[in-house]
Chains A and B, each alone.
Chain A
Amino acid sequence: GAVVSQHPSRVICKSGTSVKIECRSLDFQATTMFWYRQFPKQSLMLMATSNEGSKATYEQGVEKDKFLINHASLTLSTLTVTSAHPEDSSFYICSAGTGGGTDTQYFGPGTRLTVL
Chain B
Amino acid sequence: AQSVSQHNHHVILSEAASLELGCNYSYGGTVNLFWYVQYPGQHLQLLLKYFSGDPLVKGIKGFEAEFIKSKFSFNLRKPSVQWSDTAEYFCAVTITGGGNKLTFGTGTQLKVEL
**Which residues of A are in contact with B by a Cβ distance under 8 Å?**
32, 34, 42-46, 49, 93, 95, 97, 99, 101-110
Contact = CB atoms under 8 A, between A and B. Distances in A.
A103 B46 CA distance: 12
Contacts, number: 45
A32 to B, nearest CB: 6
B77 to A, nearest CB: 21
Contacts of B102: 34, 44, 46, 95, 105
Nearest to B90: A43
Nearest to A31: B100
Nearest to B41: A109
Most buried by A among B32, B100, B106, B107: B100
A49 B45 contact: no
A112 to B, nearest CB: 11
A103 B43 CA distance: 19
Interface of B: 32, 34, 36, 42-46, 49, 51, 90, 96, 99-107
Contacts of B101: 34, 46, 49
B99 A32 contact: yes
Contacts of B43: 93, 107-110
Given A34-B102, A99-B100, 15 more contacts: A43-B90, A43-B104, A46-B103, A49-B99, A95-B102, A97-B100, A101-B96, A102-B32, A102-B51, A104-B34, A104-B49, A105-B100, A107-B36, A107-B43, A110-B43
Contacts of A110: 43
A42 B106 CA distance: 6
A100 B96 CA distance: 10
A7 to B, nearest CB: 13
10 contacts: A32-B99, A43-B105, A44-B90, A46-B102, A95-B44, A103-B100, A104-B34, A104-B46, A106-B46, A110-B43
A14 B45 CA distance: 32
B43 to A, nearest CB: 4
A49 B100 CA distance: 9
A109 B32 CA distance: 23
Contacts of B103: 46
